[in-house]
Structure 1
């Protein structure tokens, strides 16, 4: 295996000059650089990237913390982040917290121990006061999540507005007993959705029933359970706003199996515009988030902060949603604008 000394000997230059070219340092003429690159090619020499990163004190790696990758939203988010990070010369490692406070802190240790250059948090489990000390070790950017007290850059959608519009749509379709369904950890994003949901009920003089708030539904199987729970305890339910297309699909499937009609008996709204929302019969009305735009902006902001340490780290980018109205809620013929 060729060494840096072999390259220097073949090029007829010093080891120091070869090292400068490998590390893209100045003060090397184009003629010498050409000789060194040619020698590297002839010898099949590949620089030790680990050693190079050690000298530069950079890992060229970003950690992305998220609750679970099986959620299609996070899968799409990671894919877009990896593509954008590659353009900046960075690689991405995925850290699933499974809504565990301890796991979240364990992964943040990667920043403290200099194993990553920066962290994206797509969910936040711990109190911000427990996360803030890690900022001394490197930049942290929030994506899809936000904390009012956090002095970091945040990239997210207006969750409250999305939930408000979705709930108002159900009301416009004639729903009067509407359930709210979310999953697992009560993130700030979920909290904002709940505020939008309750505000829409209030503004339309629709009764709010705290018993019709469900916070444990994550997937299709949970959606099936949600249908049976609601129809057993609240047989008058006629509208459901969910935070997941998968949950919405489970509700619709089980409703059909139980000979309930969608949307005549229950109108259902999903979230994230996943492929399953189009494949279901009826197709699912859903909220589309600008996933790629948020992912790319997140990487752009984080990499800029890593490279330019003095750059602002408290920027906020808020994106709009789109409510895609489909057959799971179409009780009334939509008027043409």
Structure 2
């Protein structure tokens, strides 16, 4: 196996110069850098990345915390983050918290024990006071959830406004008995969407349809179950805003089985513009987030703080969302800013 001395001999340069090129240090002439790279290619020399990371006191690894990778939104987000991180020379560790507070803190220990250089949190379950101490050990960026009082970069869309616009759209279609299906009220995202939903109803003098099964709805099966409950206990419901296209798809599928017409008897709005939203018949009106752009910006922001350490400060980056109006509510496309 070739060594750094072999590369130096082949390039006709000192070992120190070769080392500086390998570690991408400044003040090395471009002609010498090229000679080193050609020698490395010729000999098949591969730098010892582990040793280089130790010298730099960096792991070149970031941790991404998310509730569940099976959710299409998060899998899409992770893909965008991994591609961008790789382009910057970083690896990613995917950490599924399953919305467990202890698991969330356990994964943050990776930062304290120097196993990762930084962390991106796509969901937050603990109080900010429990997370804040970890900033002592490295940068953290929040994605998707806007935690008040958190002095660090936050990348998200305005979920309250998105929910407000989606609910207003349902009301404009003539819906008067509306329900909101959330992923769980312990989620900041779900809470903000509920605020937007209720704001739209209040402005129109309407009251929400409430059902015990409407919280914790994530999947197609959840959508089916909730629809059955609504039909049984609230047969007058005529519009539903859901937090997921999968839930919306489950409701629409089950509505057909029960002889309900969508959107004539029941209008349905999803969230995230997943592939299933176009495959369903009728196609699902949904709120689209710029997932790729959000993921890329999170990585860029985190890497900046890793490579240029400084005190984190409150920085809100709010991306635009778009309401894509389709057959499940029958209207044309509407833009939201």
Corresponding position of 1:52:
52
Corresponding position of 1:77:
77
Shift of 1:28: 4.2
Aligned counterparts of 1:4 and 1:209: Cα–Cα separation in 2: 71
Shift of 1:211: 3.5
Aligned counterparts of 1:126 and 1:335: Cα–Cα separation in 2: 38
TM-score normalised by L of structure 1? 0.93
TM-score normalised by L of structure 2? 0.93
| Number of matched pairs | 334
Aligned counterparts of 1:285 and 1:235: Cα–Cα separation in 2: 22
SS in 2 for 1:75: helix
Q: 1:67-106 maps to which residues of 2 (within 5 A)?
A: 67-106=67-106
Aligned counterparts of 1:166 and 1:106: Cα–Cα separation in 2: 37
SS in 1 for 2:271: coil
- Name structure 2 gaps, 5 residues minimum: none
Aligned counterparts of 1:213 and 1:265: Cα–Cα separation in 2: 21
Cα RMSD of the aligned pairs, angstroms, is: 2.0
Relative to structure 1, is the Cα distance of residues 162 and 303 closer, same or farther in structure 2, using a 3 angstrom cutoff? same
Corresponding position of 1:321:
321
Relative to structure 1, is the Cα distance of residues 301 and 34 closer, same or farther in structure 2, using a 3 angstrom cutoff? closer
Corresponding position of 1:112:
112
SS in 1 for 2:130: helix
Corresponding position of 1:163:
163
Aligned counterparts of 2:165 and 2:31: Cα–Cα separation in 1: 64
Corresponding position of 2:134:
134
Corresponding position of 1:233:
233
The superposition leaves residues 42-66 of structure 1 with CA deviations (integer Å, 9 ceiling, x where unpaired) of 3211101111111101111111111
- Is residue 310 of structure 1 aligned with residue 301 of structure 2? no
Aligned counterparts of 1:161 and 1:111: Cα–Cα separation in 2: 34
Shift of 1:27: 4.6
Relative to structure 1, is the Cα distance of residues 255 and 210 closer, same or farther in structure 2, using a 3 angstrom cutoff? closer
Aligned counterparts of 2:157 and 2:262: Cα–Cα separation in 1: 29
The superposition leaves residues 266-314 of structure 1 with CA deviations (integer Å, 9 ceiling, x where unpaired) of 1111001111111111111111111122112211211111111126532
Q: 1:177-256 maps to which residues of 2 (within 5 A)?
A: 177-184=177-184, 186-211=186-211, 214-256=214-256
Deviates more, 1:250-259 or 1:4-13: 4-13
